[in-house]
């Protein structure tokens, strides 16, 4: 929001200069397709702004109302209509519900702008490591190895279709039809 502002300024001073979570949401939006999450984010950001202003009582009220909102949404199977009314909060600004626009020259980021890149990198590395560990566990449990091309020991242990022995065709008679076979013709 204000990259040139003094980093040594207190949170209250930054709030007075216009640096706030609500202004961030109004400026960048991004909750057009997920309105319920936008409403919840607005509640959380309001609590952050109360804390920046050192208004602890309002922050405590905000957290209590957020708990009521989440509990009601859970009881309603994720529906937020009643939960939004119970949060006793003003309507979120309409600009929050606008989809985030990316310029044609910028690369799309796969992480939230509020998240520090180092934090996202660590979380991504953790997920990758958990995926490897999970694959190894399932490999150990099944007694099979999985190779990088996706094949496994079980697939290589089965004979291929080409390697199967062909069954010899049955010999046909010489046009005699369904006549009973006599002992003389066999000899």
DSSP 8-class letter at 9: S
**52 belongs to a structural domain:** yes
Q: Give the least confident one: 1-5, 31-35, 138-142, 176-180.
A: 1-5
**80 belongs to a structural domain:** yes
* 45 shares a domain with 123: no
* Confidence at residue 163, expressed as pLDDT on a 0 to 100 scale: 52
pLDDT digits (tens, 9 = 90+) for 70-113: 999 998 898 888 888 888 888 777 777 777 665 555 555 566 66
pTM above 0.75, yes or no: no
pLDDT digits (tens, 9 = 90+) for 19-37: 777 887 887 777 777 888 8
54: alpha, beta or left, given left = phi > 0 and alpha = psi -120 to 50? left
* 42 shares a domain with 20: yes
* 79 shares a domain with 17: yes
* 92 shares a domain with 115: no
Q: Give the least confident one: 40-44, 46-50, 93-97.
A: 93-97
Residue 84 · residue 96 · CB < 8 Å: no
**With bands split at pLDDT 50, 70 and 90, how would you rate the model's confidence at 129?**
very high
**Going by C-beta distance under 8 Å and a sequence separation of 6 or more, which residues neighbour residue 62?**
43, 46, 47, 50
* 54 shares a domain with 127: no
* 86 shares a domain with 128: no
**127 belongs to a structural domain:** yes
Token pair, residue 51, equals 């804390």
- Tell me the average pLDDT across 118-133: 86
**173 belongs to a structural domain:** no
* 42 shares a domain with 17: yes
* 133 shares a domain with 90: no
Alpha-carbon Rg for the chain in angstroms: 34
**121 belongs to a structural domain:** yes
Q: Which of 105, 101, 94, 88 is nearest to 25 (CA)?
A: 94
Local structure of 72: helix, strand or coil: helix
CA-to-CA distance for 158 and 162, rounded, in angstroms? Answer: 12
**88 belongs to a structural domain:** yes
Range of the domain at 47: 11-97
* 116 shares a domain with 67: no
Q: Which of 154, 159, 45, 165 is nearest to 93 (CA)?
A: 45
**Going by C-beta distance under 8 Å and a sequence separation of 6 or more, which residues neighbour residue 120?**
111, 112
CA-to-CA distance for 57 and 97, rounded, in angstroms? Answer: 28
* Residue 127 pLDDT greater than 60, yes or no: yes
Mean pLDDT of the chain, nearest integer = 75
Token pair, residue 37, equals 């999450």
**Number of structural domains in the chain:** 2
Residue 75 · residue 68 · CB < 8 Å: no
* Confidence at residue 29, expressed as pLDDT on a 0 to 100 scale: 77
* 92 shares a domain with 116: no
Place of tokens 């909060």: 89
Residue 98 or residue 184, greater confidence: 98
**165 belongs to a structural domain:** no
**161 belongs to a structural domain:** no
* 119 shares a domain with 50: no
* Confidence at residue 90, expressed as pLDDT on a 0 to 100 scale: 81
* 65 shares a domain with 20: yes
């Amino acid at each position: 929001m204000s990259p040139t502002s003094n980093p040594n300024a207190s949170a209250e001073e930054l709030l007075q200069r216009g640096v706030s979570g609500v202004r961030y949401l109004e400026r960048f939006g991004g909750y057009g397709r997920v309105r319920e999450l936008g409403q919840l984010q607005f509640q959380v950001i309001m609590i952050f702004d109360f804390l920046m202003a050192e208004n602890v009582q309002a922050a405590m009220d905000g957290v209590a109302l957020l708990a009521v909102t989440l509990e009601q949404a859970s009881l309603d199977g994720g529906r937020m209509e009643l939960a939004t009314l119970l949060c006793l909060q003003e309507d979120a600004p309409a600009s929050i519900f606008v989809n985030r626009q990316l310029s044609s020259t910028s690369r799309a980021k796969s992480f939230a702008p509020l998240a520090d890149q180092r934090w996202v990198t660590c979380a991504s590395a953790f997920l990758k490591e958990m995926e490897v560990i999970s694959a190894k566990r399932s490999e150990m449990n099944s007694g099979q190895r999985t190779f990088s091309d996706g094949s496994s020991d079980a697939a290589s242990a089965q004979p291929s279709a080409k390697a199967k022995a062909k069954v010899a065709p049955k010999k046909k008679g010489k046009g005699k039809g369904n006549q009973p076979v006599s002992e003389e013709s066999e000899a």
